[in-house]
Structure 1
Amino acid sequence: MTSMTQTYFIGLDIGTTSTKAIVFTPSGAIRGTGNIDYQLLVPQPSWAEQEPETIFAAVIQALKQALEHAGIAKSEIGGIGFSTAMHSLIAVDPSGNPLTNSIIWADNRSVAQADRLKADGVGHQIYLATGTPIHPMSPLPKIMWLRENLPDTFRRAAKFISIKEYVIYRLFGEYIVDYSIASATGLFNLRKLDWDEEALRVAGISKQHLSEPVPTTHILRGMKIRYAEEIGIDPDTPFVVGASDGVLANLGIGAIDPGQVAITIGTSGAVRTVVPEPITDPKGRTFCYVLTENHWVIGGPSNNGGIMLRWFRDEFSWPEVEKAKQLGVDPYDVMIQAAEHVRAGADGLLFLPFLSGERAPYWNAQARGSFFGIGLHHKREHFIRAVLEGILFSVYSIGIALRDLAGGAKEIRASGGFARSREWRQIMSDMFGYEVLIPESHESSSFGAALLAMHALGAMDHLQDVKKMIHISHRHEPDLERSSVYLELFYIYERVYYNLLEEYKLIAEFQKRLNN
């Protein structure tokens, strides 16, 4: 068992816009941080890529930076845990050299392949087996796209791997993938905990093209000496393969028991809850990913989180922006203060926030945003409140799907940029009709990675022990009168969405022609 005396654990989170390394004390306090930003590459419309070597260099530098900031000795490092964004795909040659950039979750080039899988029915069967919704984010249609559009690259590829697998291969010289990242590929059978034969057939690849699946608690030792020296650690420092950022965020805020729902709203949004066995949705609304073999995370991502409020600020909220400049405060604070004076439901103004299409629960890339119910009595502050509520309506729709699958919530734990606003937190409590708890921010995915490393290395006996390390900074009880307003409006919100399905398709096709 790892000693808890003067032992620190590092959570390494390889994200979409940056890689963060955070050194945590055994009690969960932050001792040191490192953060390296990088660019998202958009070589063509609807494409989204990252350069693998840039990400690898960021991993080395973030770890080095965090350790220098922490000022601890090599011997005080108890272990390092990995967290990474899901759904990335890199084709590599027999020597491990990338044949493509890392094609990330936001890439939509494989829309046609995903649509074809949905249309012929095989996609739904693969979803039920793998837990990954059929969507261009998933590596399954991405591999199909490569096979059909870059056949020479496809033939030359020895492996199809994620960015985490690339980093681990560079550091340790072996191809392994944790069950969590594997379960987000659309290629991994949740019940067999191995690659799914039907998904492999559809992708046109074999098991040999993929890494060896291992538990999220799998321990790696023997890092290549040159990288260990560059970081400033002992080559035998234990690394725990870890999991995806989404499931680790649940662990990082203590939402790991059935009935505890984690809601994250940053640029995008997500709703997740932990169940003791894999559950997929007959209606295909939710994902199911692995945390450990006894902890399965079901939920759904929303494209449309805080980025909607930023869009409204940039395009329509210039009076609030100017006022904020004069007062020397954040424009969002001024916008939300204006919205506080508007009644729940924005006096009948609804915002469907599908400016980037939508993932869960609709999985409709052609959905588009709209304001509905506009009247002469509506002012700018009504629109601001409608945007705040519309973002939460999209999150609430995912919560409805989870309720159908796992039962009602007992507790909601929320995190992300939205949690800085008292009013926005209260709207969430009112809309969901439950108490909302806001844990103190620990960079939840990094913290989750460090916690899983503690557990894997024997420094924490049970994952439930994490709750002793998490402090709640705010609690909000629902106002039942406002809850009834939101319940009535959500019924209208969903009717508007479903009644516009054909129109979404027509306007999306029109917009696509304009951009060609």
Structure 2
Amino acid sequence: MPCNSYVLGVDIGTFSSKGVLVKLDGTVVASHSVPHDVKIPRLGFAEHDAERDWWGDFVKITRALLEKSQVDPGRILGVATSGIGPCVLPVDKEGHPLRPAILYGIDTRAFAEIEILMKMLGQERLLEGSGRKELTSQAAAPKILWIRRNEPDIFSKTRWFFTCHSYLIFKLTKRAVIDIYSAAGYAPMFNIFKCQWDPEIVQMMASQEVLPDLAWSYEVVGRVTRDASHETGLLEGTPVVAGTTDAAAEALSVGLNAVGDMMLMVGSSVFFILRTPVLMKSERFWVSNFVVPDFYTILGGMSTAGSITTWFRDNFGELELERQKTTGEDAFEQLAKLALKSSVGAKGLTVLPYFSGERTPFFDPTAKGVIFGLTLAHKKGDIYRAILESVAFGIKHNMDELIEEGAVPERIILAGGILKNELWTKIIADVCQREFEVPCQTIGASFGDAFLVALGVGHFKNISDVKEWAKIKGVVKPTTDEREIKIYEIKYQLFRQLYEQTKELMKKVHTLQEMLTISD
């Protein structure tokens, strides 16, 4: 292929979207990002406007990349997209959204539908098809059932149910496609061991006609239409590959490859992907095929991470935000300085980071955030540091449970917005007592999308070739200070006990909050 050819990747995130234009040697020639928000119309709901936040961002990004790079669109070999997922977006036969998109695990509205499906199927049936014993708010199928039960008019008009990047593929090509990795998020409608929709279970909620066609993430599934070309600036006929969910693309971007490799992405939430030698079954995590055949993974994630620090900044960081306006110093950097003035252990404060329920390893959509141990001696920096530590404890909890199931991380590569926060990365390494590799390229999932294009159009022959793009620049090492290690061990036990001793109270609080929300 000509050396002056390019591949393009675009990722749609929770609070922003990002795109990159990349040379075939992995050099990024242009990048662009666009912010957007998340709508929380009521307790437990989280939504995006698909036309504005997904397609609108995609159009802005592709046009910006072309303008910044001055690259001839004819030299772009293909495009791939990734996005938050699994999301649920019902569209009509023209592909027009019928309602706002229901987001991934941070949207916990389908609590009753999860219980209905669990009673209908049972743990063993679920395990046989999905490799897991429990359904959670991360699964898309209960949300489809929620639409059927709560919005029957919308359900009756639905031609397809899309996730984020499936919608973008349709806008680009007029084809309804979802990749194998992302289809696993439609549990229990998708059988991960057969790599196909389960017709019997699908019929319990919808019909198979409303589900997209299946493809591997690197496969070319269509070409840019004339209408999409006019909107995006891409050349009509440009190949479009199937793409994947953002976490999988992020894992590619940092070089996930060998068995035992684990990508730990810490952004607005936490997600990790660990390559396993076989397709496992799990009681505490999700399991899935990856973006190519014969590549197996175990997955997990926390509902909240950076979203809590954003919440704290927006509600308690007025001074820092005002100083950011006048001096330009980032509010998060100011809060990090306050956290540094606190001590290891945050003066005894323990936080539970379950501000949107929790996903792995215990799947509790009613879990709540807790700040425990407050005294009049505590300051803003202590609380902020305790929040950072709480996410680290949640990550350690997941790692401990992974190892107990026999899935042992051998090499851990960090990804996500946390790479901009040295204090937080150090806290996680210290709490987990593990080394974490830091990649050279920190752009994220859109870089992984670009690699999928290069693989799909034949520039690369194997997924292991990702090592040519993904380089490591350093390692975050854990503390060896015995006092600090002991403090974190004590706090970790408090962290674990605090949830166990309050989870029944959390259910009561959840019921009260729902009652108050309805009455409001």
Q: TM-score, normalised by structure 2?
A: 0.89
One-letter amino acid of the counterpart of residue 302, structure 2: S
Specify the alignment match of 2:78 in structure 1: 79
Specify the alignment match of 1:495 in structure 2: 497
Distance 1:15 1:323 in 2: 27
Specify the alignment match of 2:110 in structure 1: 110
Distance 1:307 1:153 in 2: 30
Specify the alignment match of 1:228 in structure 2: 229
Distance 2:454 2:196 in 1: 26
Moved more, 477-486 or 375-384: 375-384
Distance 2:297 2:233 in 1: 35
Change over 3 Å in CA distance of 1:489–1:16 after alignment to 2: closer
Specify the alignment match of 1:355 in structure 2: 355
Specify the alignment match of 2:4 in structure 1: 6
Matched-pair contact (CA < 8 Å) for 1:74–1:232? yes
Alignment of 1:104-143 (within 5 A): 104-105=103-104, 106-118=106-118, 122=122, 125-126=125-126, 129-130=129-130, 134-143=135-144
Matched-pair contact (CA < 8 Å) for 1:127–1:134? no
One-letter amino acid of the counterpart of residue 487, structure 1: E
Change over 3 Å in CA distance of 1:84–1:124 after alignment to 2: farther
Matched-pair contact (CA < 8 Å) for 2:44–2:356? no
One-letter amino acid of the counterpart of residue 154, structure 2: T
Matched-pair contact (CA < 8 Å) for 2:10–2:449? yes
Distance 1:215 1:45 in 2: 36
Distance 1:351 1:86 in 2: 27
Distance 2:489 2:262 in 1: 19
What is the DSSP-based 3-state SS (H/G/I as helix, E as strand, rest coil) of the residue aligned with 1:273? Answer: strand
Change over 3 Å in CA distance of 1:241–1:421 after alignment to 2: same
Specify the alignment match of 2:21 in structure 1: 23
Any stretches of 5+ residues in structure 2 without a counterpart?
Answer: none
Specify the alignment match of 2:151 in structure 1: 150
Alignment of 1:157-196 (within 5 A): 157-186=158-187, 187-196=189-198
Moved more, 260-269 or 464-473: 464-473
Specify the alignment match of 2:386 in structure 1: 386
Give CA-to-partner distance per residue, 1:258-297, whole Å, 9 cap, x none: 2222222222222221224322312x33453532222233
Distance 1:14 1:193 in 2: 25
Alignment of 1:93-492 (within 5 A): 93-105=92-104, 106-118=106-118, 122=122, 125-126=125-126, 129-130=129-130, 134-186=135-187, 187-203=189-205, 205-282=206-283, 284-288=284-288, 290-316=290-316, 329-374=329-374, 378-480=378-480, 481=482, 482-492=484-494
What is the DSSP-based 3-state SS (H/G/I as helix, E as strand, rest coil) of the residue aligned with 1:512? Answer: helix
Matched-pair contact (CA < 8 Å) for 2:289–2:295? no
Specify the alignment match of 2:47 in structure 1: 49
Moved more, 424-433 or 160-169: 160-169
Superposition CA RMSD, Å? 2.8
Moved more, 111-120 or 326-335: 326-335
Tell me the CA shift for residue 322 of structure 1. 7.4
Tell me the CA shift for residue 392 of structure 1. 1.2
What is the DSSP-based 3-state SS (H/G/I as helix, E as strand, rest coil) of the residue aligned with 2:137? Answer: coil
Moved more, 373-382 or 272-281: 373-382
What is the DSSP-based 3-state SS (H/G/I as helix, E as strand, rest coil) of the residue aligned with 1:292? Answer: coil
Distance 1:38 1:479 in 2: 37
Change over 3 Å in CA distance of 1:276–1:64 after alignment to 2: farther
One-letter amino acid of the counterpart of residue 12, structure 2: I
Distance 2:288 2:100 in 1: 27
Specify the alignment match of 1:511 in structure 2: 513
What is the DSSP-based 3-state SS (H/G/I as helix, E as strand, rest coil) of the residue aligned with 2:214? Answer: strand
Change over 3 Å in CA distance of 1:236–1:311 after alignment to 2: closer
Tell me the CA shift for residue 61 of structure 1. 3.4
One-letter amino acid of the counterpart of residue 169, structure 2: I
Distance 1:332 1:52 in 2: 29
Give CA-to-partner distance per residue, 1:374-428, whole Å, 9 cap, x none: 4566554433322211121122222223223353322221122332232222211
Distance 2:344 2:230 in 1: 57
Change over 3 Å in CA distance of 1:120–1:497 after alignment to 2: farther
One-letter amino acid of the counterpart of residue 345, structure 2: G
One-letter amino acid of the counterpart of residue 191, structure 2: N
One-letter amino acid of the counterpart of residue 130, structure 2: T
Distance 2:461 2:200 in 1: 38
Tell me the CA shift for residue 34 of structure 1. 3.8
Q: TM-score, normalised by structure 1?
A: 0.90
One-letter amino acid of the counterpart of residue 22, structure 1: V
One-letter amino acid of the counterpart of residue 139, structure 1: A
What is the DSSP-based 3-state SS (H/G/I as helix, E as strand, rest coil) of the residue aligned with 1:183? Answer: helix
Moved more, 137-146 or 221-230: 221-230
Matched-pair contact (CA < 8 Å) for 2:30–2:65? yes
Distance 2:34 2:348 in 1: 44
Number of aligned residue pairs: 512
Change over 3 Å in CA distance of 1:394–1:323 after alignment to 2: same
Tell me the CA shift for residue 41 of structure 1. 4.2
Q: Percent identity?
A: 25
Tell me the CA shift for residue 251 of structure 1. 0.7
One-letter amino acid of the counterpart of residue 162, structure 1: T
Distance 1:125 1:290 in 2: 22
Matched-pair contact (CA < 8 Å) for 1:255–1:262? yes
Matched-pair contact (CA < 8 Å) for 2:165–2:243? no
Matched-pair contact (CA < 8 Å) for 1:259–1:410? yes
Distance 1:210 1:500 in 2: 40
Matched-pair contact (CA < 8 Å) for 1:124–1:134? no
Tell me the CA shift for residue 158 of structure 1. 3.1
One-letter amino acid of the counterpart of residue 10, structure 1: L
Change over 3 Å in CA distance of 1:378–1:149 after alignment to 2: closer
Matched-pair contact (CA < 8 Å) for 1:23–1:33? yes
Tell me the CA shift for residue 82 of structure 1. 1.9
Moved more, 123-132 or 476-485: 123-132
Give CA-to-partner distance per residue, 1:224-274, whole Å, 9 cap, x none: 223224433332322211111111111101123222222222222222212
